[in-house]
């Protein structure tokens, strides 16, 4: 365990902060619908309703109403509940439902993420601290080319954010002091919990994560250590400028 306060690792919220889940899912489902003659379905509505079930589904695990269940399973259950509302219940086979659940493993990063993370990776250890399970994060890493050094987050802690165990288990696995680790997130509640445990905090603006009508997390709601437009600005502020070649 290193005691120094020097920043060593950046851990990231993923859905919304690193990947644009909404556009990526709508794009995948629209292509799927066109291919399967389901073009008229309200795919954007389904995606919004699906994500709407995200917090309530984790809440049942967080408050003990059900045992630990990974996000892939929660995604699947939520989707099955919603299909009748979208007139899709009888029109999809089980492998097709599986394919839709796996769409969360194929989300695209925001455009600033590949260059920003590549530069941050030169100076810091990088890891997701997400509610997504390890397999989901590993597949997303492969799909989006994310330079993670390890995978932290909900599954290794068997708790969902913002339960303290997620942050504390992440710190334990890194063997770093809280002040040596910064959470990078587009969500104020997540940063508040990280700060409560002594971690550094960086807020990234993602004003269209929930689409054009987004009403939450439009601005930093506390004096986070960094407030940035995107990952490229974070890299500019955290990393030394490249040496000028003579």
- Footprint of a second copy on this chain (CB under 8 A)? 70, 72, 125, 127, 133-135, 137-139, 141-142, 148-151, 155-156, 173-176
Quote the CA–CA distance of 155 and 58 in Å, as a whole number. Answer: 12
Q: Residue 85 Cβ, how far from a second copy at the closest point, in Å?
A: 27
Quote the CA–CA distance of 125 and 107 in Å, as a whole number. Answer: 22
160 near 58, Cβ under 8 Å? yes
Taking the least distance from each CB to a second copy, the nearer of 41 and 150 is 150
Structure tokens at 50: 């699906």
Quote the CA–CA distance of 239 and 232 in Å, as a whole number. Answer: 10
Q: Residue 219 Cβ, how far from a second copy at the closest point, in Å?
A: 33
Taking the least distance from each CB to a second copy, the nearer of 87 and 98 is 98
Quote the CA–CA distance of 70 and 73 in Å, as a whole number. Answer: 6
Q: Residue 72 Cβ, how far from a second copy at the closest point, in Å?
A: 7
Taking the least distance from each CB to a second copy, the nearer of 1 and 244 is 1
Which strand (E) or helix (H) includes residue 204? Answer: strand 200-204
Q: Residue 135 Cβ, how far from a second copy at the closest point, in Å?
A: 4
Q: Residue 223 Cβ, how far from a second copy at the closest point, in Å?
A: 30
Taking the least distance from each CB to a second copy, the nearer of 8 and 22 is 8
43 near 29, Cβ under 8 Å? yes
DSSP 86: G
Taking the least distance from each CB to a second copy, the nearer of 79 and 174 is 174
What would you report as the CA-atom Rg of the chain, rounded to the nearest whole angstrom? 19
Taking the least distance from each CB to a second copy, the nearer of 27 and 197 is 197
List the 152-153 sheet strands across, edge first. 152-153, 125-130, 9-12, 181-185, 200-204, 226-228
- Dihedral, CA of residue 2, residue 158, residue 49 and residue 216, to nearest 10: -30
Structure tokens at 36: 């399967």
Q: Residue 156 Cβ, how far from a second copy at the closest point, in Å?
A: 5
Taking the least distance from each CB to a second copy, the nearer of 59 and 149 is 149
Q: Residue 121 Cβ, how far from a second copy at the closest point, in Å?
A: 8
């Amino acid at each position: 365990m290193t005691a120094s306060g020097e920043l060593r690792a950046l851990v990231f919220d993923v859905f919304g902060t690193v990947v644009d889940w909404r556009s990526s899912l709508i794009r995948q489902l629209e292509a799927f619908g066109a291919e399967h003659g389901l073009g008229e379905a309200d795919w954007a509505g389904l995606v919004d309703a699906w994500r709407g079930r995200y917090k309530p589904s984790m809440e049942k695990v967080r408050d003990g109403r059900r045992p630990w269940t990974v996000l892939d399973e929660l995604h699947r259950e939520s989707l099955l509940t919603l299909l009748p509302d979208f007139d899709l219940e009888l029109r999809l086979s089980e492998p097709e439902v599986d394919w839709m659940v796996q769409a969360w493993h194929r989300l695209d990063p925001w455009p600033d993420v590949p260059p920003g993370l590549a530069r941050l990776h030169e100076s810091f250890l990088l890891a997701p601290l997400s509610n997504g399970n390890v397999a989901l994060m590993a597949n997303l890493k492969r799909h989006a080319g994310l330079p993670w050094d390890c995978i932290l987050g909900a599954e290794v802690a068997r708790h969902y954010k913002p339960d303290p165990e997620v942050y504390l288990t992440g710190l334990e696995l890194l063997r770093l002091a809280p002040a040596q680790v910064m959470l990078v997130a587009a969500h104020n509640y997540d940063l508040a919990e990280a700060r409560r445990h002594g971690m550094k905090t960086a807020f990234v603006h993602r004003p269209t994560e929930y689409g054009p009508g987004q009403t939450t997390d439009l601005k930093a709601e506390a004096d986070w250590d960094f407030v940035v437009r995107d990952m490229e600005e974070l890299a500019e502020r955290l990393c030394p400028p490249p040496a000028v070649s003579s």
